[in-house]
Chain A
Amino acid sequence: AQSVTQLDSHVSVSEGTPVLLRCNYSSSYSPSLFWYVQHPNKGLQLLLKYTSAATLVKGINGFEAEFKKSETSFHLTKPSAHMSDAAEYFCVVSEGDMRFGAGTRLTVKP
Protein backbone atom coordinates (compact mmCIF):
# COMPACT_ATOMS: atom_id res chain seq x y z
CA ALA A 1 0.00 0.00 0.00
CA GLN A 2 1.13 3.51 -0.68
CA SER A 3 2.15 6.01 1.98
CA VAL A 4 3.69 9.44 2.16
CA THR A 5 5.94 11.12 4.72
CA GLN A 6 6.33 14.85 5.01
CA LEU A 7 9.66 15.29 6.69
CA ASP A 8 8.96 18.64 8.36
CA SER A 9 5.86 19.49 10.33
CA HIS A 10 6.77 23.19 10.31
CA VAL A 11 8.97 25.28 8.03
CA SER A 12 9.70 28.96 8.61
CA VAL A 13 11.29 31.19 5.98
CA SER A 14 11.75 34.90 5.44
CA GLU A 15 9.90 36.67 2.67
CA GLY A 16 11.92 36.58 -0.55
CA THR A 17 13.94 33.49 0.40
CA PRO A 18 13.55 30.03 -1.16
CA VAL A 19 11.01 27.50 0.07
CA LEU A 20 11.67 23.76 0.33
CA LEU A 21 8.98 21.40 1.61
CA ARG A 22 10.13 17.78 1.68
CA CYS A 23 8.07 14.73 0.82
CA ASN A 24 9.03 11.06 0.53
CA TYR A 25 6.64 8.41 -0.70
CA SER A 26 6.28 4.66 -0.72
CA SER A 27 4.48 2.96 -3.55
CA SER A 28 4.34 -0.46 -5.16
CA TYR A 29 3.57 0.93 -8.57
CA SER A 30 4.22 4.10 -10.50
CA PRO A 31 2.22 6.51 -8.43
CA SER A 32 0.59 9.80 -9.12
CA LEU A 33 1.75 12.51 -6.74
CA PHE A 34 0.10 15.76 -5.79
CA TRP A 35 0.75 18.81 -3.67
CA TYR A 36 -2.25 20.59 -2.15
CA VAL A 37 -2.31 23.83 -0.15
CA GLN A 38 -4.80 24.65 2.59
CA HIS A 39 -5.23 28.22 3.77
CA PRO A 40 -7.01 28.80 7.08
CA ASN A 41 -10.73 28.18 6.85
CA LYS A 42 -10.49 27.41 3.15
CA GLY A 43 -10.66 24.25 1.12
CA LEU A 44 -7.71 22.33 -0.23
CA GLN A 45 -6.37 23.72 -3.49
CA LEU A 46 -4.31 21.75 -5.97
CA LEU A 47 -0.84 23.22 -6.50
CA LEU A 48 0.50 20.66 -8.96
CA LYS A 49 0.47 16.99 -9.86
CA TYR A 50 2.81 14.41 -11.33
CA THR A 51 1.33 11.64 -13.47
CA SER A 52 4.34 9.99 -15.14
CA ALA A 53 5.05 12.69 -17.68
CA ALA A 54 7.87 15.22 -17.12
CA THR A 55 9.64 14.71 -13.80
CA LEU A 56 9.81 18.46 -13.13
CA VAL A 57 6.30 19.69 -12.58
CA LYS A 58 5.36 23.36 -12.54
CA GLY A 59 2.34 24.45 -10.57
CA ILE A 60 0.48 27.58 -9.65
CA ASN A 61 1.89 30.57 -7.78
CA GLY A 62 5.48 29.82 -8.79
CA PHE A 63 5.70 26.43 -7.08
CA GLU A 64 7.32 23.42 -8.68
CA ALA A 65 8.22 19.89 -7.66
CA GLU A 66 10.61 17.27 -8.97
CA PHE A 67 9.81 13.57 -9.03
CA LYS A 68 12.93 11.55 -8.16
CA LYS A 69 12.21 7.85 -8.38
CA SER A 70 15.65 6.81 -7.12
CA GLU A 71 15.12 8.84 -3.96
CA THR A 72 11.34 8.24 -3.76
CA SER A 73 10.95 11.95 -3.23
CA PHE A 74 8.67 14.69 -4.51
CA HIS A 75 9.90 17.87 -2.82
CA LEU A 76 8.07 21.16 -3.34
CA THR A 77 10.08 24.31 -4.01
CA LYS A 78 9.62 27.98 -4.74
CA PRO A 79 12.44 30.42 -5.47
CA SER A 80 11.06 33.32 -3.46
CA ALA A 81 8.47 33.15 -0.68
CA HIS A 82 5.60 35.61 -0.40
CA MET A 83 3.61 36.38 2.71
CA SER A 84 0.56 34.92 1.00
CA ASP A 85 2.29 31.52 0.79
CA ALA A 86 1.81 30.99 4.53
CA ALA A 87 -0.46 27.94 4.77
CA GLU A 88 -0.55 24.18 5.36
CA TYR A 89 0.85 22.06 2.52
CA PHE A 90 -0.04 18.42 1.91
CA CYS A 91 1.83 15.89 -0.19
CA VAL A 92 -0.42 13.18 -1.60
CA VAL A 93 0.35 9.82 -3.22
CA SER A 94 -2.20 7.90 -5.20
CA GLU A 95 -2.28 4.37 -6.58
CA GLY A 96 -6.04 4.49 -6.82
CA ASP A 97 -7.08 6.13 -3.61
CA MET A 98 -5.32 9.20 -2.32
CA ARG A 99 -3.15 9.07 0.81
CA PHE A 100 -2.30 12.39 2.42
CA GLY A 101 0.78 13.26 4.39
CA ALA A 102 0.44 14.82 7.82
CA GLY A 103 1.09 18.26 6.40
CA THR A 104 3.78 20.94 6.66
CA ARG A 105 2.90 24.33 8.04
CA LEU A 106 4.76 27.08 6.21
CA THR A 107 5.35 30.34 8.05
CA VAL A 108 6.67 33.36 6.14
CA LYS A 109 8.35 36.09 8.16
CA PRO A 110 8.45 39.69 6.93
Chain B
Amino acid sequence: EAGVAQSPRYKIIEKRQSVAFWCNPISGHATLYWYQQILGQGPKLLIQFQNNGVVDDSQLPKDRFSAERLKGVDSTLKIQPAKLEDSAVYLCASSYTNRGRKETQYFGPGTRLLVL
Protein backbone atom coordinates (compact mmCIF):
# COMPACT_ATOMS: atom_id res chain seq x y z
CA GLU B 1 0.00 0.00 0.00
CA ALA B 2 1.42 3.38 -0.97
CA GLY B 3 1.97 5.79 1.86
CA VAL B 4 1.14 9.46 2.22
CA ALA B 5 2.88 11.45 -0.51
CA GLN B 6 4.06 15.03 -0.11
CA SER B 7 5.81 17.48 -2.38
CA PRO B 8 8.08 19.28 -2.56
CA ARG B 9 10.40 17.76 0.04
CA TYR B 10 12.32 21.00 0.51
CA LYS B 11 11.55 24.65 -0.22
CA ILE B 12 13.51 27.82 0.37
CA ILE B 13 11.79 31.18 -0.11
CA GLU B 14 12.21 34.75 0.98
CA LYS B 15 9.88 36.37 3.47
CA ARG B 16 6.72 37.85 1.98
CA GLN B 17 6.77 35.31 -0.85
CA SER B 18 4.07 32.70 -1.21
CA VAL B 19 4.47 28.92 -1.17
CA ALA B 20 2.24 25.89 -1.63
CA PHE B 21 2.58 22.31 -0.44
CA TRP B 22 0.79 19.29 -1.82
CA CYS B 23 -0.34 16.11 -0.10
CA ASN B 24 -1.88 12.91 -1.44
CA PRO B 25 -3.23 10.69 1.36
CA ILE B 26 -3.40 6.93 1.46
CA SER B 27 -6.08 5.69 -0.91
CA GLY B 28 -9.45 5.40 0.81
CA HIS B 29 -8.54 7.53 3.79
CA ALA B 30 -11.33 10.01 4.44
CA THR B 31 -9.53 12.19 6.96
CA LEU B 32 -6.53 14.37 6.15
CA TYR B 33 -4.45 16.46 8.53
CA TRP B 34 -1.83 19.17 8.12
CA TYR B 35 0.70 19.69 10.93
CA GLN B 36 3.44 22.24 11.49
CA GLN B 37 6.58 20.99 13.22
CA ILE B 38 8.98 23.70 14.32
CA LEU B 39 12.53 22.58 15.05
CA GLY B 40 12.81 21.04 18.50
CA GLN B 41 9.04 20.76 18.99
CA GLY B 42 6.35 18.19 18.41
CA PRO B 43 3.96 18.56 15.50
CA LYS B 44 1.05 20.99 15.95
CA LEU B 45 -2.24 20.45 14.11
CA LEU B 46 -3.07 23.20 11.64
CA ILE B 47 -6.17 21.83 9.94
CA GLN B 48 -8.20 18.62 9.67
CA PHE B 49 -10.41 17.64 6.74
CA GLN B 50 -13.11 14.99 6.64
CA ASN B 51 -13.54 14.26 2.93
CA ASN B 52 -13.72 17.77 1.43
CA GLY B 53 -15.00 19.52 4.55
CA VAL B 54 -13.02 21.24 7.31
CA VAL B 55 -13.42 19.60 10.74
CA ASP B 56 -10.95 21.71 12.72
CA ASP B 57 -8.94 24.75 11.66
CA SER B 58 -8.80 26.45 15.04
CA GLN B 59 -4.99 26.64 15.04
CA LEU B 60 -4.58 27.72 11.43
CA PRO B 61 -3.33 31.33 11.09
CA LYS B 62 -6.03 32.26 8.64
CA ASP B 63 -4.59 35.66 7.79
CA ARG B 64 -1.78 33.96 5.88
CA PHE B 65 -2.46 30.21 5.74
CA SER B 66 -5.10 28.51 3.64
CA ALA B 67 -5.82 24.91 2.76
CA GLU B 68 -8.21 23.08 0.51
CA ARG B 69 -9.23 19.55 -0.35
CA LEU B 70 -11.68 20.24 -3.14
CA LYS B 71 -12.36 16.70 -4.33
CA GLY B 72 -11.87 15.03 -0.99
CA VAL B 73 -8.63 13.34 -2.02
CA ASP B 74 -5.43 15.36 -2.29
CA SER B 75 -4.89 18.64 -0.52
CA THR B 76 -2.92 21.87 -0.85
CA LEU B 77 -1.63 24.06 1.97
CA LYS B 78 -0.64 27.62 1.07
CA ILE B 79 1.20 30.34 2.92
CA GLN B 80 0.88 33.90 1.63
CA PRO B 81 2.84 35.93 2.58
CA ALA B 82 5.45 33.86 4.41
CA LYS B 83 7.17 35.05 7.56
CA LEU B 84 10.48 33.98 9.06
CA GLU B 85 8.68 32.13 11.86
CA ASP B 86 6.96 29.90 9.29
CA SER B 87 10.22 28.00 8.83
CA ALA B 88 9.28 24.47 9.84
CA VAL B 89 8.48 21.02 8.54
CA TYR B 90 4.92 20.71 7.28
CA LEU B 91 3.57 17.22 7.77
CA CYS B 92 0.55 15.71 6.15
CA ALA B 93 -1.22 12.72 7.68
CA SER B 94 -4.28 10.68 6.87
CA SER B 95 -6.55 8.24 8.64
CA TYR B 96 -9.25 5.86 7.43
CA THR B 97 -12.13 7.47 9.28
CA ASN B 98 -12.80 10.28 11.67
CA ARG B 99 -13.29 8.04 14.71
CA GLY B 100 -11.22 10.52 16.57
CA ARG B 101 -9.00 9.50 19.40
CA LYS B 102 -8.58 5.84 18.53
CA GLU B 103 -7.72 6.34 14.92
CA THR B 104 -4.15 5.79 13.77
CA GLN B 105 -2.75 8.56 11.61
CA TYR B 106 -0.22 7.78 8.91
CA PHE B 107 2.29 10.49 8.15
CA GLY B 108 4.04 11.60 5.00
CA PRO B 109 7.76 12.49 4.88
CA GLY B 110 7.04 16.20 5.27
CA THR B 111 8.04 19.36 3.44
CA ARG B 112 10.88 21.27 5.03
CA LEU B 113 10.37 25.03 4.54
CA LEU B 114 13.05 27.63 5.12
CA VAL B 115 12.03 31.28 4.99
CA LEU B 116 14.93 33.71 4.60
A interface, CB within 8 angstroms of B = 31-32, 34, 36, 41-46, 49, 51, 90, 92, 94-98, 100-103
Contacts and interface: CB of A to CB of B under 8 A. Distances in A.
A9 to B, nearest CB: 8
Interface in B85-108: 91, 93, 100-102, 104-108
A97 B48 contact: yes
12 contacts: A42-B109, A43-B108, A43-B110, A44-B93, A44-B107, A46-B105, A51-B102, A94-B102, A96-B100, A97-B48, A100-B42, A102-B40
A85 to B, nearest CB: 19
A21 B116 CA distance: 35
Contact of A31 (B91, B101, B105, B110): B101
B114 interface: no
Interface centre among B42, B56, B104 (most CB of A within 10 A): B42
B61 to A, nearest CB: 17
Contacts of B93: 44
Interface centre among B93, B100, B101, B104 (most CB of A within 10 A): B101
Interface residues of B, number: 22
Contact of B43 (A51, A95, A96, A100): A100
B54 interface: no
A46 B104 contact: yes
A98 B105 contact: yes
B4 interface: yes
B16 interface: no
Contacts of B45: 97-98
Contacts of B106: 46
B53 interface: no
A32 B3 CA distance: 23
Contacts of B42: 90, 92, 100-103
